[in-house]
Amino acid sequence: MASFRPHDLPNLPPRAAESHKFDYGRVVVVGGSAGMAGAAALSAMAALRSGAGLVELLVPEAVATVAAGFDPCVMTLGLPSADGAFTAAAAGEILTRAARADVVACGPGLGRGEAAGQIARTLWRECPKPCVFDADAIFALSREPAASLASHAGPRILTPHEGETRRLLHRDDRPPRGDLERLAREFAMTTGSIVVLKGPRTLIASGDAIAHNTTGNPGMATAGAGDVLTGIVAAVVAQKLAAFDAARLAVWVHGRAGDLAADRIGQVSLVATDILHSLSAAFREIASG
């Protein structure tokens, strides 16, 4: 198979013969709510398929059984909930388990209630580990002025689509893509974070570097595709790549998996689990390139 890997794309370090699961990172995924357990589960499964040694999924107790049923390889823990979403009583255990992780991913299916939003904002401010924020966690962070988000305890990666980016920027208009990319980079500089602005030629921006992705196709405009990306980013960071390099590699792999899936079944029928199931082939290309 011909390699589509750009010559300067970062790569995962080789796996040592004498190694164990904790050498490849413990990822904690925080998310899920009634009707949205699958979003968090997709992130957790993608993290496993992207090389994380151990993945722990923290979900509201009300959806724990559903979430645990997607993949027996994911460790699932139900925490205090009401009306299908986390309550404030879940926050302490989430912070405790996040502190033991190598990387935390927060947001897929989290919900937009006050307790869920407070959990996301607390993780942003207080968790010392690298954290990936997506979906409802981005909604929670958008309630804060950008300048206040400059205060955080560790590396931060956000993976918004265009609408979520406008929300983070507190923009009601729809600036052209080029302007939105410039504003996203300014946001990354202001907050000391990395912004992955999803879309055609996804932008990866930090305060001092930018890159555009070359993989992906319109069939990936489907529910759950972003949740898969969140898990890939978290797993690659957990394997000791620097945050910007990890984001760049993860976005490439995500798009390439989507391209391989589209080659197999077409863009119209492509769903998020097709991307998930094509990750192994995308990573094989990386390893052989």
Chain segment 81-123, per-residue pLDDT in tens: 999 999 999 999 999 999 999 999 999 999 999 999 999 999 9
pLDDT (average), residues 135-164: 96
Q: Tens digit of pLDDT for each residue in 147-160?
A: 999 999 999 999 99
- What homologous superfamily does CATH list for 22-288? Ribokinase (3.40.1190.20)
**Of 4-8, 10-14, 33-37, which gets the smallest average pLDDT?**
4-8
pLDDT score at 14:
85
Q: At residue 217, what are phi and psi to the nearest 5 degrees?
A: -155, 165
Would you place residue 2 in the very low, low, confident or very high pLDDT band (cuts 50, 70, 90)?
Answer: very low
Looking at the DSSP assignment, which residues form a beta bridge with residue 29?
57, 105
pLDDT score at 11:
86
Which residue type occupies 175? P
Looking at the DSSP assignment, which residues form a beta bridge with residue 81?
86
**Residue-averaged pLDDT of the chain:** 95
Q: Tens digit of pLDDT for each residue in 54-79?
A: 999 999 999 999 999 999 999 999 99
Using the predicted structure, report yes or no on whether residue 171 has a pLDDT greater than 70: yes
Cα dihedral across residues 69, 71, 75, 77: positive or negative: negative
Domain ranges of the chain: 22-288
